[in-house]
């Protein structure tokens, strides 16, 4: 599958650095898809002040700053501070850091896949028993309890975990690899 050309000029090349992956990352950080996308689009254009972003997007300045600082906290947005000689006020020029974003996406992708692999390995290597109320135990735990649920004191019966194994095999990360 050919890598789709990004409409934004990322200054770092990574199989994870796509428009969709970056938007997913930012949504997860800010929990605000609509405003985050507008602010991110401004950052993709190059360095901009928070006031310029507010004017261009129509989002209140305080809200723009709130989202920018969330992005700054994880390192995918940085700023340069400059003092205006006339007013003595500081101006902050914000920039998107594509290298840091790619590294965060890659780490999240790898952690997610590692969790799935560990869960799949656990499910495939164990037998499970359940009581009628849904309490679930591995074979070793069930034998320790003499096949009686310690919570509800009901008999534990074998429970096929193949549906769980199938579901784990079908799971995939929210981030896509573009090759």
Angle ∠(170,173,179) on CA atoms, nearest 5:
105
Q: Which one-letter DSSP state was computed for residue 159?
A: E
- Is the Cβ–Cβ distance between 149 and 131 less than 8 Å? yes
Cα–Cα dist 156/20, whole Å: 46
Per-residue pLDDT tens digits for 42-63: 998 888 999 999 999 999 999 9
Structural contact between residues 162 and 170, judged by C-beta atoms closer than 8 angstroms: no
Report, as an integer, the average pLDDT of 94-121: 90
Token pair of 82 as six digits: 């400059």
Q: Is the pTM of this model over 0.85?
A: no
Query: Are 44 and 96 within 8 A, CB to CB?
Result: yes
Q: Which two tokens stand for residue 2?
A: 């050919």
Beta-bridged to residue 78, according to DSSP, are: 95
- Asked whether residue 10 carries a pLDDT value surpassing 70, the answer given is no
Tokens of 84: 């205006």
Neighbours of 146 (CB within 10 A): 8
For the chain, what percent of residues have pLDDT higher than 70?
Answer: 88
- The C-alpha angle 61, 76, 7, rounded to 5 degrees, equals 90
- Cβ atoms of 39 and 33 closer than 8 Å: no
Q: Mean of the pLDDT values across residues 63-67?
A: 94
Question: Which has more pLDDT, 24 or 79?
Answer: 79
């Amino acid at each position: 599958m050919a890598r789709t050309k990004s409409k934004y000029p990322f200054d770092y090349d990574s199989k994870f650095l796509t428009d969709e992956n970056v938007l997913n990352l930012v949504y997860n950080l800010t929990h605000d898809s609509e405003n985050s996308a507008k602010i991110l689009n401004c950052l993709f254009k190059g360095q901009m002040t928070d006031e310029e972003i507010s004017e261009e997007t129509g989002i209140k300045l305080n809200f723009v700053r709130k989202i920018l600082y969330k992005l700054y906290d994880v390192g995918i947005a940085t700023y340069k501070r400059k003092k205006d000689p006339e007013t003595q006020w500081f101006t902050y020029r914000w920039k998107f850091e594509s290298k840091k974003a790619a590294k965060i996406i890659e780490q999240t992708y790898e952690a997610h896949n590692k969790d799935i692999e560990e869960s799949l390995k656990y499910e495939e290597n164990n037998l499970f028993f359940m009581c009628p109320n849904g309490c679930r135990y591995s074979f070793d735990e069930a034998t320790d309890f003499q096949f009686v649920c310690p919570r509800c004191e009901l008999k534990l019966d074998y429970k096929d975990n193949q549906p769980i194994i199938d579901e784990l095999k079908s799971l995939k990360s929210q981030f896509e690899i573009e090759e």
